């Protein structure tokens, strides 16, 4: 699987299909394609409107991280903090650049700082300024704390291959874009901190408007080598959290997280979490705690159960109904409980498990959930929400499972309202009070997988020729592309499930 390559190709296909407009029917063959078997990653481009016609809020930053302004260089191999920061006279590490006050920014006039209060110049006259770029060359850049830097314009930090830090913590700060860093603890570390921690702080102020793209984040490179495979203590006590983003306007794209406790947690409004991979995790894969959040085209796989956490592929909750979680989109994600039946501590994963609503105006579409549990996609206490064109199957024919899709009452007994379950493939659909279900395909038994899917044993759930789900869906509320970014419908009608079939 190559996320970048697949993303570009799929994006081009999608744009070509959309651009062809009225002649779309004539080019269906070239736009379609059943996919070739890879689990798809982000098919979306990073500009323009999102695939289903929903509009990303303006607060969500979709800018790709590129060099802007004056460019400074940081090279652990050849640099020195007394240098000028030019390409031929680089500084030595990012940690040192911050400690030496090389970056001009703004900081609160008084503390505690709250958003909108007065700011004053910080490090006035320093060489790196708002709108500039730091390029990190290969080598170790230390443990990075960015504390109280509210930039007037984005500052870019772009890592070249081989650039590492042991931590990136950003506290009381805004308008930073980071790209390409490897984040891993130092050898011998015993603290389970968040490797990337974007922290809103009661004293230093909120953190907002941060981009984390193309990071490689892991506690250890190979857990099977570094940690016991028979005693879960290593996993339970050593795995760090991946990304903890607490604040508004967070963009997290195409990051790879491996051997972590919790994968990606975002608490705040206006988040784009797209094209990330969380592989080998002990807590929840992803958690979204806020409004106007888009979790798209992420891959979450291989749960390690080593403690009492109830693990979910994706989880969200509201505390005492206040506030409800509003306008959250889960689109095109893949959740796989385990990919190796002999994996140690493999346990049982709740796919999309949202048990403490209310959840208002949610869209759950084009997701694939492959799990050994009953909860495939479950929302308890939803309003004006829909679960459309998802595919949910079991990993084996024994309990727990098979997984269902359902809207249920809030745990206080309040029914869901105005919710729709449509065009999904699952063993069981539960349309609780306040929800309707239509055009779903109910899998009669695990043995039907081989007639439905191209290669379910290798997690390829594209529809097979002749599958009864083909052309059996409803166009109403169906996403205009499938999980691969191919236009819907192909053939005579919309298909059921996450993938649209094309011969």
Task: Give min distance, CB of 221 to Ca ion, in A.
Answer: 31
Task: Give min distance, CB of 297 to Ca ion, in A.
Answer: 21
Task: Give min distance, CB of 357 to Ca ion, in A.
Answer: 26
Q: Which of 103, 45, 107 is nearest to 69 (CA)?
A: 103
Q: Which residue among 401, 406, 432, 485 contacts Ca ion (CB under 5 A)?
A: 401
Is 396 near Ca ion (CB under 5 A)? yes
* Residue 162 CB burial class (10 angstroms; 0-12, 13-18, ≥19): middle
Is 365 near Ca ion (CB under 5 A)? no
Burial call 14-30: b when 16+ CB within 10 Å, e when fewer = beebbebeeeeeeebee
Would strands 182-183 and 391-393 be described as parallel, antiparallel, or unpaired?
unpaired
List residues bridging with 66 in a β-sheet. Answer: none
Is 34 near Ca ion (CB under 5 A)? no
- Do 46 and 294 form a contact (C-beta atoms < 8 A)? no
Is 247 near Ca ion (CB under 5 A)? no
- Do 52 and 115 form a contact (C-beta atoms < 8 A)? no
Stretch that binds Ca ion, among 184-192, 295-303, 435-443, 469-477 (CB under 5 A): 469-477
Is 482 near Ca ion (CB under 5 A)? no
User: What SS3 class is residue 231?
Assistant: coil
Task: Give min distance, CB of 475 to Ca ion, in A.
Answer: 10
Task: Give min distance, CB of 353 to Ca ion, in A.
Answer: 16
Look at the block and give the residue holding tokens 């009381």.
Answer: 172
According to CB under 5 A, which residues from 162 to 201 bind Ca ion? Answer: none
User: Which C-beta is closer to Ca ion: that of 1 or that of 397?
Assistant: 397
Q: Which residue among 471, 474, 477, 480 contacts Ca ion (CB under 5 A)?
A: 471
Is 495 near Ca ion (CB under 5 A)? yes
User: What SS3 class is residue 15?
Assistant: helix
Number of residues that bind Ca ion (CB under 5 A): 9
User: Which C-beta is closer to Ca ion: that of 99 or that of 398?
Assistant: 398
* Residue 116 CB burial class (10 angstroms; 0-12, 13-18, ≥19): exposed
Q: How far apart are CA 28 and CA 502, in angstroms?
A: 9
Nearest-CB residue to Ca ion?
Answer: 401
Alpha-carbon 482 to chain mean position: 18
Burial call 483-498: b when 16+ CB within 10 Å, e when fewer = bbbbbbbbeebbbbbb
Is 490 near Ca ion (CB under 5 A)? yes
84 phi/psi in degrees, rounded to 5? -85, -15
Stretch that binds Ca ion, among 34-42, 274-282, 322-330, 465-473 (CB under 5 A): 465-473
User: Which C-beta is closer to Ca ion: that of 179 or that of 346?
Assistant: 346
User: Which C-beta is closer to Ca ion: that of 212 or that of 467?
Assistant: 467
Stretch that binds Ca ion, among 60-68, 240-248, 298-306, 485-493 (CB under 5 A): 485-493
Residue ranges that bind Ca ion, judged by CB under 5 A: 372, 394, 396, 401, 471, 489-491, 495
């Amino acid at each position: 699987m190559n996320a970048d390559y697949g993303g570009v190709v799929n994006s081009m296909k999608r744009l070509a299909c959309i651009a062809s407009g009225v002649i779309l029917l004539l080019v269906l063959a070239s736009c379609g394609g059943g996919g070739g078997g890879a689990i798809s990653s982000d098919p979306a481009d990073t500009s323009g409107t999102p695939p289903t016609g929903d509009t990303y809020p303006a607060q969500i930053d979709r800018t790709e991280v590129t060099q802007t302004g004056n460019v400074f260089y940081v090279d652990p191999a050849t640099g020195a903090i007394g240098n000028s920061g030019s390409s031929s006279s680089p500084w030595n590490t990012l940690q040192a650049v911050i400690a030496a006050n090389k970056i001009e920014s703004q900081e609160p006039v008084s503390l505690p700082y709250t958003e909108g209060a007065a700011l004053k110049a910080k490090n006035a006259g320093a060489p790196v300024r708002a709108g500039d770029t730091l390029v990190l060359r290969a080598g170790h850049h230390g443990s990075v704390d960015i504390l109280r830097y509210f930039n007037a314009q984005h500052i870019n930090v772009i890592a070249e291959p081989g650039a590492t830090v042991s931590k990136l913590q950003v506290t009381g700060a805004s308008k930073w874009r980071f790209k390409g860093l490897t984040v891993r603890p130092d050898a011998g570390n015993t603290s389970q901190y968040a490797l990337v921690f974007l922290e809103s702080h009661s004293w230093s102020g909120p953190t907002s408007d941060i981009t984390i793209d193309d990071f490689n984040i892991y506690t250890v490179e190979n857990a099977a080598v570094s940690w016991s495979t028979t005693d879960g203590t290593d996993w339970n006590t050593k795995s760090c959290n991946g990304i903890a983003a607490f604040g508004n306007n967070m963009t997290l794209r195409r990051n790879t997280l491996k051997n972590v406790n919790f994968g990606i947690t975002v608490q705040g409004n206006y988040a784009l979490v797209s094209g990330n991979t969380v592989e080998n995790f002990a807590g929840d894969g992803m958690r979204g705690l806020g409004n106007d959040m888009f979790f798209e085209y992420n891959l979450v796989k291989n749960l390690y159960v080593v403690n009492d956490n109830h693990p979910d592929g994706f989880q969200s909750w509201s505390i005492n109904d206040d506030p409800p979680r509003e306008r959250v989109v889960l689109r095109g994600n893949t959740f796989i409980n385990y990919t190796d039946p002999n994996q140690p501590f493999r346990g049982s994963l709740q796919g999309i498990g949202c048990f403490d609503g209310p959840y208002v105006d949610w869209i759950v579409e084009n997701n694939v959930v492959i799990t050994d549990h009953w909860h495939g996609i479950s929302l308890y206490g939803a309003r004006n929400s829909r679960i459309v064109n998802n595919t949910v199957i079991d990993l084996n024919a024994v309990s727990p499972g098979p997984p269902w899709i359902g809207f249920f009452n809030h745990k206080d007994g309040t029914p869901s309202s105005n919710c729709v379950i449509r065009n999904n493939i699952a063993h069981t659909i539960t349309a609780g009070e306040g929800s309707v279900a239509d055009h779903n395909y109910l899998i009669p038994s695990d043995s039907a997988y081989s007639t439905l899917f191209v290669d379910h044993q290798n997690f390829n759930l594209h529809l097979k020729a002749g599958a009864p789900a083909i052309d059996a869906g409803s166009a109403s509320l169906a996403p205009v592309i499938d999980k691969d970014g191919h236009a819907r419908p192909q053939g005579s009608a919309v298909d059921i499930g996450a993938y649209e079939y094309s011969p």
